[in-house]
Amino acid sequence: MAQTIRLTATDGSSVEFVDEVIGSGAMKDVYFSPDKSYVVGFFRTTQDANSKDRLQNITGLYRERIFNQVGGEYWKNVFCWPTKMVEWNGKVGIVCPAYDKHFFFSSGRFKGKEKEGKWFASAKLRNNFLEADQKGDWLRTFHMCIQIARAVKRLHAAGLAHSDLSYKNVLVDPQTGSACIIDCDGLVVPGRYPPDVVGTPDFIAPEVLQTRSLKIGNPNKKLPCIQTDRHALAVLIYMYLLNRHPLRGGKVNDLDPAKDEELTMGANALFIEHPTDKSNRPKVNQLDKSQLPQGDVTKRPYTICGPYLKKLFDRAFIDGLHNPSMRPTAEEWEQALIKTTDLMQPCQNPKCEYHWFVFDNTTKPKCPFCGKEYHGQLPVLNLYYSPKKGVFKPENYRLMVYDNQTLYMWHVNRFIAANEKTTDENKKPVGDFHFFNGKWILINRRLDDLWDKTDDRKIEVGQYVELTEGRRILLGRKDGDRLIIVQIVNN
**SS3 per residue for 261-316:** HHHHHCCCCCCCCCCCCCCCCCCHHHCCHHHCCCCCCCCCCHHHHCHHHHHHHHHH
Predicted confidence band at 197 (pLDDT cuts at 50, 70, 90)? confident
Q: pTM of the full predicted structure? A: 0.95
**Phi then psi for 459, rounded to 5 degrees?**
-100, 105
Structural domains of the chain in order of their starting residue, each with its CATH number:
1-98 (3.30.200.20), 103-342 (1.10.510.10), 376-490 (2.60.200.20)
Predicted confidence band at 361 (pLDDT cuts at 50, 70, 90)? confident
**Percentage, residues of the chain above pLDDT 90:** 86
In this prediction, residues 98-116 reach a mean pLDDT of 92
In this prediction, residues 314-341 reach a mean pLDDT of 98
Lowest mean pLDDT across 59-68, 334-343, 377-386: 59-68
Residue 195 confidence (pLDDT) above 80: no
Decide if 265 contacts 201 (C-beta within 8 A). yes
Residue 60 confidence (pLDDT) above 90: yes
Q: Alpha carbon 197 to chain centroid distance?
A: 23
Residue 214 confidence (pLDDT) above 90: no
Packing angle, helices 330-341 and 138-157, rounded to 10: 150
Own/partner contacts of 465-474, CB < 8 Å, gap of 24 or more, are 465/441, 466/439, 466/440, 466/441, 467/379, 467/381, 467/401, 467/433, 467/439, 467/440, 467/441, 467/442, 473/442, 474/449, 474/450
Lowest mean pLDDT across 24-28, 31-35, 101-105, 304-308: 24-28
How many whole angstroms separate alpha carbon 409 and alpha carbon 426?
6
How many whole angstroms separate alpha carbon 297 and alpha carbon 123?
13
Predicted confidence band at 208 (pLDDT cuts at 50, 70, 90)? very high
Hey, is 122 helix, strand or coil? coil
How many whole angstroms separate alpha carbon 272 and alpha carbon 276?
11
Residue 237 confidence (pLDDT) above 80: yes
Predicted confidence band at 305 (pLDDT cuts at 50, 70, 90)? very high
Residue 199 confidence (pLDDT) above 90: no
Residue 1 confidence (pLDDT) above 80: no
Exposure of 370 by Cβ count < 10 A (0-12 exposed, 13-18 middle, 19+ buried)? middle
Residue 390, pLDDT score: 84
